[in-house]
């Protein structure tokens, strides 16, 4: 049954490492009003420039495992030896306020959310080539060992694109951003999101009620 208390939409962005999902989500949030990114939790160490509470909630392994026992996550997974998870309470509070959310998670996280969340919109961001994946990982400072691990994971995730509602090839950043923007804005035109108070004509509003 649809939860009518959730007024916002949840959009999941997934891509292989180096696919550009984080960069694209930040661009979308800067341009689309009433859109926020869900801050997820992780036990990995912050990369240079990352801040706790802005990029991730950085937790110890013990803190994360305590939250698992408390049922605090909408989804969680172990990726490259580190925990990643989405705080359930924050997601539902924002959706009830009518705020649209972008959740940047991997394929296994998407599968967990879809089991428990009916009206999620899933988008897979595909890099234009394997060579481009490697280039982007090198540019962000990943070590050769990290690149090897992430490339292996990327090759296992790419076939999952068929499980998503939409796919966007991130070859030109501006073009990819506009494609994602259209998806989000179109979903705001769904009948369930329509506000009858926006109709000024009383007779017409009564007919639509």
The number of residues in the chain equals 209
Pick the CATH number of 10-38+100-208 from 3.90.1010.10, 3.20.20.140, 2.60.40.2140, 3.40.50.300: 3.40.50.300
pTM, 2 dp: 0.84
Tokens of 52: 């706790």
User: Strands, E, within the chain: which ranges?
Assistant: 10-14, 35-37, 41-42, 57-58, 73-79, 82-87, 100-104, 120-126, 166-169
How many helices (H) and strands (E) are present in the chain, helices listed first?
8, 9
pLDDT value at residue 12? 97
How confident is residue 2, by pLDDT bands cut at 50, 70 and 90? very low
Confirm if 106 and 122 have CB atoms less than 8 A apart: no
How confident is residue 196, by pLDDT bands cut at 50, 70 and 90? confident
Q: How far apart are the first and last CA of the chain?
A: 21
């Amino acid at each position: 049954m649809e939860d009518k208390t959730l007024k916002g939409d949840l959009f999941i962005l997934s891509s292989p490492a180096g696919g550009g999902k984080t960069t694209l989500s930040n661009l979308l949030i800067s341009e689309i009003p009433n859109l926020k990114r869900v801050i997820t939790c992780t036990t990995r160490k912050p990369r240079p420039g990352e801040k706790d509470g802005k990029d991730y909630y950085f937790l110890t392994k013990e803190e994360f495992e305590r939250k698992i026992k408390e049922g605090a996550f909408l989804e969680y997974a172990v990726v490259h030896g580190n925990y990643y998870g989405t705080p359930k309470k924050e997601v539902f509070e924002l959706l009830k306020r009518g705020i649209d959310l972008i959740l940047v998670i991997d394929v296994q996280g998407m599968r967990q959310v879809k089991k428990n969340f009916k009206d999620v919109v899933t988008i897979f961001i595909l890099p234009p080539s394997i060579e481009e994946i490697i280039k982007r990982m090198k540019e962000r400072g990943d070590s050769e060992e990290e690149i090897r691990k992430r490339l292996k994971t990327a090759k296992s995730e790419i076939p999952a694109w068929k499980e998503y509602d939409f796919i966007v090839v991130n070859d030109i950043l501006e073009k990819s951003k506009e494609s994602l923007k259209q998806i989000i804005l179109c979903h705001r035109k769904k009948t369930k999101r329509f506000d009858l108070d926006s109709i000024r004509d009383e007779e017409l509003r009564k007919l639509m009620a």
